[in-house]
Amino acid sequence: MCCFENFDRVPRLLAAGTAAQAMVGRTSGGLAVRRALSRGVLQDIDTATHLLRYAVNRAFGRKRMVGSGAVIGVPADATSAERGALSTAARDAGLGAVRLVSEPFAAAVGAGLPVFQASGTMIVECGAGTTEVAVLSLGGICLTRSVRVGGVALNQAIADHLRFRHKFLIGEHVADQIKQEYGKRRNTGLEAVAEIKGRSLVSMAPALFRIPLVEFDGVMEKHAGQIVDVVRTVLNMTPPELSEDIHAHGVVLTGGGAATPCLKDMIEAETGLPVIIAEYSERCVARGLQHVLLN
Ligand SMILES: Nc1ncnc2c1ncn2[C@@H]1O[C@H](COP(=O)(O)OP(=O)(O)OP(=O)(O)O)[C@@H](O)[C@H]1O
Ligand SMILES: [Mg+2]
């Protein structure tokens, strides 16, 4: 994500990443916040070029990166047009030879799974825009399916629930906080009441709304159910030898959304397989890409 001044004429990057995230919905005048990626794929090539150039400058300063290579994670089912656009953005940003690596593969490597052995491993990589389910063996992806559903869609579902059921408007950041609070309290006290700041569509004024977290049960379960359906589809297509391995080792969840409320429990209940949330799940893709880059 990037925040630009003068985006339509000569764009000047003011902030990127977390700093730009804080500006969503708060911009004024000639400022514009743009997402380079949406639902896991490149949607704005110019913004992607600015974002990559910003990242390169932060990492290397003014040093030239002659001969240095780069790896970039892409969804396993990215089209050749999407891959081509990303390579172009990387080249325009000044990166040298770029290698595109499937994110579920990188996530599995980053989670320390034995992807190069003759043994099946199932990974569910839970991102902001997409969730990818893959079975890996012998250093490659045997099977993969993805759903354009992730943390952002869950935040939207939480906001929609409050809007349509309670006539209360909240922003994406507040929805994200509710999701994380629900996750923390799920096993200890969902009767806890969340105090939500937003705008009442009845009084049309800023307001504080109190709601028991348990009211979000249906929203969380419906969301996790969409991911469970994909896991089931992939399991149904998996050859018996690989199924046997997956039954022995279980399913591994990676990505920032690995702790998505209900997800682990629902996959376990629906498939009978043990489910493990990878350690530092949000860093698995980056760690896996680093491994690929250095080896
Ligand atoms: N504790 C948590 N519980 C549930 N979701 C979480 C938690 N912490 C972070 N998330 C979600 O994880 C998502 C970010 O994950 P990640 O960084 O893996 O996504 P991404 O790589 O940017 O997205 P994509 O792979 O789809 O392009 C956000 O939607 C965020 O709300
Ligand atoms: Mg990701």
Domain boundaries, the chain: 112-150+220-282, 166-214
How much is the pLDDT for 170?
Answer: 96
CATH H superfamily, domain 166-214: ATPase, substrate binding domain, subdomain 4 (3.90.640.10)
Tens of pLDDT along the chain (295 residues)?
888 888 777 888 888 888 888 888 788 778 888 888 876 678 888 888 888 888 888 877 766 655 567 899 999 988 898 899 888 888 888 887 889 999 999 999 999 999 999 999 999 999 998 999 999 999 999 999 999 899 999 999 999 999 999 999 999 899 999 999 999 887 776 678 889 999 999 999 999 999 999 999 999 999 999 999 999 999 999 999 999 999 999 999 999 999 999 999 999 999 999 999 999 999 999 999 999 999 8
Ligand nearest to the CA of 146: 1
Do the Cβ atoms of 288 and 254 come closer than 8 Å?
no
Ligand nearest to the CA of 283: 1
Task: Name the residue of 180, 213, 223, 283 to mutate for ligand 1: max ligand atoms within 8 A of Cβ.
Answer: 180
Task: Name the residue of 179, 187, 284 to mutate for ligand 1: max ligand atoms within 8 A of Cβ.
Answer: 179
Domain 112-150+220-282 indexed as CATH 3.90.420.10: no
Q: Report the atom number in ligand 1 closest to the C-alpha of 75.
A: 25
Whose structure tokens read 């925040």? 3
For helices 263-271 and 217-237, what crossing angle results, to 10°? 40
How much is the pLDDT for 193?
Answer: 86
Q: What is the pLDDT of residues 224-253, one digit of tens each?
A: 999 999 999 999 999 999 999 999 999 999
How much is the pLDDT for 290?
Answer: 94
Q: Exposure of 26 by Cβ count < 10 A (0-12 exposed, 13-18 middle, 19+ buried)?
A: exposed
How much is the pLDDT for 67?
Answer: 56
How much is the pLDDT for 50?
Answer: 87
How much is the pLDDT for 195?
Answer: 92
Q: What is the pLDDT of residues 59-93, one digit of tens each?
A: 777 666 555 678 999 999 888 988 998 888 888 88
Q: Report the atom number in ligand 1 closest to the C-alpha of 183.
A: 3
Whether ligand 1 lies within 6 angstroms of the CB of 104 is answered as no
Q: Report the atom number in ligand 1 closest to the C-alpha of 130.
A: 26
Taking the centre of ligand 2 as the mean of its atom positions, its distance from the CA of residue 255, in whole angstroms, is: 6
